[in-house]
Chain A
Amino acid sequence: MDVKKKMDLFYKNPVVSWHEHVNGIMGDRGTEGDRLDTQHCDEQMKIVDMFGIDKIVVSKPIPADKHASPEKCMRANDLVYEATQRYPGRIYGMAFVNPGYCDAMRKEIDRCVKELDFVGVKLYHQYFMDDPAQYALVEKCIELDVPILMHCAHLMDPITRMRQPRCSDGVHMANIARRYPGATFIMGHIGGGGDWQWAIKAIADCPNVYADIGGSIHDRPLIEESVSYLGADRLLFATDGMWASSISKILDADISEADKKTILKGEAFMRFLERAGK
């Protein structure tokens, strides 16, 4: 069968990608991230349209700065807001915060969710997900009923481990999920690099941890094993900017058509988008 014909699965069904990003460019302040990179944003939406993706959830994490100040986080979130306003109803925002600045983090999540209509919180590797520094953040997200998407990978190679020494994996996600069963977590990009088999086994018994399938790794049978351990209703479609590999995982996986549609739609997470639209 022609792969374009197979793409009907995307063209004819609701598709939400829960893990995408926007870029910043140099602006008046003379630092990267002053303004939304509208060219990248528009090009991304052309790709989104080409592949039949209806909505994307974006964030602007600050990966290289382990101290990511509250001011930087606010600026990043303002860029995300600009993207949501550029494509209303198509782009939704997630707030990036640094849990190390506890008071500022609480205020910023409040601002993003209550004023900017963001649908969740995105974290990077400033802290492990089960670090006590995250507790106040998790409690804030429970209060506002928004999910927490954490950049995750069980990294095996020494160089990437050295670069991301506090990169969370499935075990960190499981630890925090058991401490806070009322919170909703997304383990970021099971195809983002790292041992994905480790990742999905670790969270299998934690029903409040979901996983997005994004990332460049499209090892067969990543999706089949994920569905087997978690069920399709705990998987969310995402690409993290790696379109071909992420779409291929859905097209080629030996799972039922119904399970594919469940992952693409992200049924369990629709309420977050619907609430933001009101």
Chain B
Amino acid sequence: MFIDINTYVGHWPFRNLKYNTLEGLDKLAREYGVTHMVVANLNGFFYKDANTANLELLKELESYNGETEFLPLAIVNPAYPEWEKDARDMIAKGFAGFELAPLYHGYSLAPEMLYDEYSPKHRALEVLNLAEELDVPVRICAGFENFRGRSPFDTYENIKGDDYFALLSKNKNVHVFVTSFAPSAVSDRFAELLKDRENTYLDLTQISPIESKKALAKTLENVTNKKLCFGSLSPFCYMAAELIKMEFVPELDTEAMKTNAARAFKKLR
């Protein structure tokens, strides 16, 4: 088993993507022996109603007949009406978990005071609690393109350590994939939480373990090899970069990185 926890289909409004279909990803996976890909539809980051992107992915999955097994995530926008009904419906239809996109859906991972409420509402936490009830994982990607080259219509922000802390400290039971997170964005309390929280998984897309032994040591101190996973951020990036890190850095446990994510999925446990 070889799981890639960080892949997408669909369109990115700011530049063209190649291999951005299930068939395209399957080709990339087979090139390097990846057997499973955790996938969501990028369109759901930009559609007002994210669930229509989930339905698109569902349709694509129905006609897909490649070798790679996909673990589809439904993009859930807790700031949109009927999100819970849609989320439950997608799991019933075979989706393997949820993805949150706070930077693109306009809500915070922390509790927020809304204009029509009298007390703070923690919308992201409601999704995590639902995920716990349904025993499915949640993925939250810290950022996609490098901020120095982003379109002026994109955000220059990434999700930071404290943002993750505000959410993940409130529910420690759900399996959560924190993808494309840069160690420079970690805060002390998020580092402590990572050490403590058993089912938080990170990839290395924003870490340079060959160049920076310090960043690698810090990451391993926080999450250990038990919680590091292979993630390629395909099709945004060339996949070989992550394989080179995994194969040429002796401190990393290659076999564990390929399979750690299985713990998060009912069908793979």
Residues of A within 8 A of B (CB): 1-4, 6, 47, 50-51, 153-160, 193-197, 216-221, 224, 241-245, 247-249, 251-254
Q: Is B236 an interface residue when CB atoms closer than 8 A count as contact? A: yes
Partner of A194, one of B31, B149, B235, B244: B149
| Among A50, A51, A243, A254, residue most surrounded by chain B Cβ atoms (within 10 Å) | A243
Q: Which of B31, B149, B234, B238 contacts A253 (CB 8 A)?
A: B238
B267 touches A (CB below 8 Å): no
CA distance A231 to B268 in the complex (A): 46
Residues in chain A near residue B152, CB distance under 8 A: 156
Question: In the bound complex, how far is the Cα of B249 from the Cα of A56, in angstroms?
Answer: 22
Cβ contact within 8 Å between B149 and A242: no
| B220: Cβ under 8 A from any A Cβ | no
Instruction: Report whether B32 and A244 are in contact in the complex, using a CB–CB cutoff of 8 Å.
Output: no
Cβ-defined contact, A245 with B149, below 8 A:
no
In the complex, B211 has a CB within 8 A of chain A:
yes
Residues of B with C-beta under 8 A to A254: 18
Contact of B235 among A2, A220, A243 (CB under 8 A): A220
Q: Determine the distance from Cα of A156 to Cα of B156 in the docked complex, in whole angstroms.
A: 9
Chain A residues whose CB sits within 8 angstroms of the CB of B19 once the complex forms: 220
A243–B244 touching, CB < 8 Å: yes
6 chain-A/chain-B pairs, Cβ below 8 angstroms: A156-B147, A156-B151, A157-B148, A219-B15, A242-B208, A247-B244
Contact in complex: B150, A157 (CB < 8 Å):
yes
Instruction: Determine whether the beta carbon of B156 is less than 8 Å from that of A3.
Output: no
Q: Are A193 and B18 in contact (CB under 8 A)?
A: no
Q: Is B84 part of the binding interface, using a Cβ–Cβ cutoff of 8 Å?
A: no
Is B79 close to A, CB under 8 A?
A: no
B166 contacts A by Cβ under 8 Å: no
List the B side residues contacting A196 at CB < 8 Å.
149
Asked whether A242 lies within 8 Å of B148 as measured between CB atoms, the reply is no
* Bound complex: CA A160 to CA B32 (Å): 36
Is the beta-carbon distance between B239 and A248 smaller than 8 angstroms? Answer: yes
CA distance A1 to B30 in the complex (A): 8
The answer to whether the Cβ of B135 comes within 8 Å of any Cβ in the partner chain is no
| Interfacial chain B residues near A224, Cβ < 8 Å | 18
How many interface contacts (CB-CB < 8 Å) are there between A and B? 100
Q: Are A249 and B243 in contact (CB under 8 A)?
A: no
Contact B239 A155 (CB under 8 A): no
> Considering the chains assembled together, what is the distance between the CA atoms of A194 and B151 in angstroms?
10
Inter-chain pairs besides A47-B210, A244-B248, 11 sampled, C-beta below 8 Å: A51-B248, A156-B147, A194-B148, A217-B149, A218-B237, A218-B241, A219-B236, A243-B244, A244-B241, A247-B244, A248-B237
Q: Are B148 and A244 in contact (CB under 8 A)?
A: no
Report B202-232 CB contacts with A as 1/0, cut-off 8 Å: 0000001011000000000000000000000
Task: From known contacts A216-B208, A242-B208, infer whether A247 and B240 are also in contact, taking CB-CB under 8 Å.
Answer: yes
Q: Which residue of A lies closest to B245 (CB)?
A: A244
* Chain B interface residues toward A at CB < 8 A: 15, 17-19, 31-33, 145-152, 156, 208, 210-211, 234-245, 247-248
Contact of B146 with A216 in the complex, beta carbons under 8 Å? yes
| 3 smallest beta-carbon distances between A and B, as pairs | A248-B241, A248-B240, A193-B148
Whole-angstrom distance between the Cβ of B104 and the nearest chain A Cβ: 17
- A172 → chain B, closest Cβ, in Å? 17
C-alpha gap A242/B209 in the complex (Å): 10
Knowing A1-B31, A220-B18, say if A251 contacts B148 (CB, 8 Å): no
With A4-B247, A50-B248: A248-B238 Cβ-Cβ less than 8 Å: yes
Shortest Cβ distance from residue B217 to the other chain A in the assembled complex, whole angstroms:
15
Report which of B146, B150, B240 forms a contact with A251, defined as CB distance below 8 A: B240
A196 to B19, CA, bound (A): 20
Beta-carbon contact of A3 and B32 below 8 Å: yes
- A244 touches which one: B15, B147, B151, B208 (CB < 8 A)? B208
Measured CB to CB, the nearest residue on chain B to A247 is B244
Q: Which residue of B lies closest to A239 (CB)?
A: B211
The docked-state distance in angstroms from the alpha carbon of A245 to that of B146 is 13
In whole angstroms, what is the CA distance A2 to B243 when docked?
Answer: 9
- Bound-state Cα–Cα, A219 to B235, Å: 9
Q: Are B148 and A218 in contact (CB under 8 A)?
A: no
Question: Is B151 touching A219 in the complex (CB atoms < 8 A)?
Answer: no
Interface contact B240-A3, CB-CB below 8 Å: yes
Contact with A241, one of B33, B211, B235, B245 (Cβ below 8 angstroms): B211
In the complex formed, the residue of A with least CB distance to B243 is A3
Looking at the assembled complex, report how far the CB atom of A221 sits from the nearest CB atom of chain B, in whole angstroms: 5
The reply to whether A220 and B243 contact each other, CB–CB distance below 8 Å, is no
Hey, which chain B residues are within 8 Å of A2, CB to CB?
Answer: 32-33, 247
Report A-chain residues with C-beta under 8 Å of the C-beta of B234: 220
**List of A residues within 8 angstroms of B32 by Cβ:** 1-3
Q: How distant is the Cα of A243 from the Cα of B242 in the complex, in angstroms?
A: 11
